[in-house]
Chain A
Amino acid sequence: MKRKNHSAYFYVYKTQILKSMAYKFDVYGNIFMQTIIMIATAFFWKALFKSADSMDGVTVDTMLTYTVVSSMVSVLLTTNVEWRITDSIRKGTIAIDMMRPVNIFKVFFAENLGGVTALFFQNLLPIFIIGSLIIKLPVPNSTKDAMLFLVSLILAFLINWFLAVIFGMWAFKIIEMSALIQVKKHLIRLLSGSIIPLWFFPEGLRSVLECLPFPYIYQMPISIYVGQYTMDSLQKGLLLQVLWVIILWALKTYLEKRVTKFVMIQGG
């Protein structure tokens, strides 16, 4: 029985890859958007570093690598699960989704993985090529840092996904979600160091943000990639990433149970 279920999730994963391949315009549109953001950010850093060779030990080369890698990472951290939940609640298909003999949240995860796999080839590689040609070839600081980056990135992916699901579960209570989803998107984009790393934030705000899950989504893996860390901050950072994964996973599991009950009551 268990084996059968696993192949079901794998099937969802495969289907999602094929589905994602179908929307050509969205794909080009996303590449276009990411390229604009990436190039504008690169020129922003270049203009800033005209007056200073380095700032807080950061050089313009570091920031250009940071920018290209951040654009690539943002492709991998694309989540659609909030919209997916909102949509199926609005249309009422959530009841059917939940009746199926699979765990709906595992299905969402498989869908997300499928989408990201497709995006890896459709968006990440083009952005890597464009970024390397126009801005800078994003070379990692060292091989060891590249390996650590991958570990941190996987943790970041999980944090990001759990946050999205927990957020999406609000839709069970609030039907009009689109504005809230935008809030979350902007907060993650601005406060996770995806464009401007937290090194440049004022001390007080930075300490507050470091207590929230945001910086562990972009800032942590990318700063490892460019080598902007101390042994101390690395250990603390990775530990906190693991901690956030556990906390958010627990929260998700708890909410999942409540939400399932809620739907069953509603369905009578």
Chain B
Amino acid sequence: MKMLKTFKHYISVSLACIRMAFLTIVEYPSSIIGWLISNPIQFVVGFATIQFVVQQFGEINGWNYGQLAVLYGLSVISHALSMIFFVQGWFMGHYVIEGEFDRFLTRPMSVLYQFFFAQINIFGITDLIPGIFVFVYGCYKIHFHWTVINALCVLGMLIGATLIRGGIYILLGTTSFFTRSANDFGQYTQEIFDKTTMYPISMYPESLQFILTYVIPIGWVSFYPVSGLLGIGTEAAKLPGIVGLTIVIGILVMIVAGAFFKFGLRSYESAGN
């Protein structure tokens, strides 16, 4: 009973936060319009240039450009979702240096919850649009069959992918509890994710593929689930097992990240004297 009450409380706080996030759009319309132009250009033009090349060569490691569009699109969508919910992980160093965690610690809610969900980054939506656009284009090119199972698989892999991304942001951000530096790893993290989730990782050397599969599970953000979905490559597991595995890995990364965050929070010493 108490748990249910807590849960309800968290839900109502979340809804209030989402409402606040939307209100910020109304407050800064010019700013969001700028990003609404900027981010789609980045991703759509970015994909278009890749497509020109792949079209000429026919395929890259067994992926034609339609399949590549599905991979690229899903990668951008999960990127957008992780931007909406977990982008704070990029700026954790700043929060540690400025002593901003004091605010969260004094409130009667989980610090991790407050840090990520009480400040939803609504601007992430500007990344969602180009992602959906490229994904739909890819589906159209490869004549993707929209069955209920396929739709659920896409949804499942997006959840898994977002959790993996978010977990890695938290893990990286948490290091600033120990290093106490305000360095922002955001753009570096994004560059790595871009290069490893928007292209098939089978184009990299095997050692790198091994790392991306077992050590830092970035391969599971898009490459393995999309391979399963489109039936590319033989040794990879088939649907729906591979989607299940993606979600499991996502949850595992999140659990590790959450534990590490709690551990890191212990050495938080606020700012000043």
Contacts and interface: CB of A to CB of B under 8 A. Distances in A.
Interface in A47-100: 47-52, 55-56
A55 B203 contact: no
B23 interface: no
Given A48-B57, A196-B49, A201-B52, A176 B31 contact: yes
B203 A47 contact: yes
A251 B37 CA distance: 25
A187 B203 contact: no
Interface stretch (A25-33, A113-121, A136-144, A224-232): A25-33
B35 A179 contact: yes
A48 B60 contact: yes
Contacts of A50: 61
A179 B58 contact: no
A180 interface: yes
Contacts of A190: 45-46, 49
A196 B41 contact: no
Interface string A12-55: 00000000000001000100110011001001101111111001
A202 interface: yes
B234 interface: no
Contacts of A191: 45, 49
Interface string B148-165: 000000000000000000
Contact of A51 (B52, B58, B183): B58
A88 B103 CA distance: 32
A180 B34 contact: yes
A178 B203 CA distance: 34
Given A33-B188, A46-B203, A180-B34, A196 B53 contact: yes
Contact of A36 (B61, B183, B191): B191
A117 B111 CA distance: 45
Contact of A40 (B41, B183, B199): B199
In this complex, the member of B31, B53, B199, B203 whose beta carbon has the largest number of chain A beta carbons within 10 angstroms is B53
B195 interface: yes
Contacts of B53: 48, 196, 200
A56 B183 CA distance: 44
A43 B203 contact: yes
Contacts of A46: 203
Contacts of A47: 60-61, 202-203
Contacts of B195: 36-37, 40
Nearest to B28: A176
B38 interface: yes
A36 B195 CA distance: 8
Given A48-B60, A52-B57, A187-B41, A29 B188 contact: yes
B38 A182 contact: yes
A179 B41 contact: no
Contact of A183 (B37, B58, B61, B199): B37
Contact of B52 (A32, A33, A202): A202
Contacts of B31: 176, 179
Given A37-B191, A190-B45, A55 B34 contact: no
Contacts of B46: 186, 190
A195 B38 CA distance: 19
B168 to A, nearest CB: 15
Contacts of A25: 181, 183
A55 B56 contact: yes
21 contacts: A33-B188, A33-B191, A43-B203, A44-B60, A44-B199, A44-B203, A47-B203, A48-B54, A48-B60, A50-B61, A56-B56, A179-B35, A179-B37, A180-B38, A183-B41, A186-B45, A187-B41, A190-B49, A201-B49, A201-B52, A202-B52
Given A29-B183, A44-B60, 9 more contacts: A25-B183, A32-B188, A43-B204, A48-B60, A176-B30, A179-B34, A182-B42, A187-B41, A200-B56
7 smallest beta-carbon distances between A and B, as pairs: A179-B34, A47-B203, A40-B195, A179-B38, A186-B42, A200-B53, A182-B38
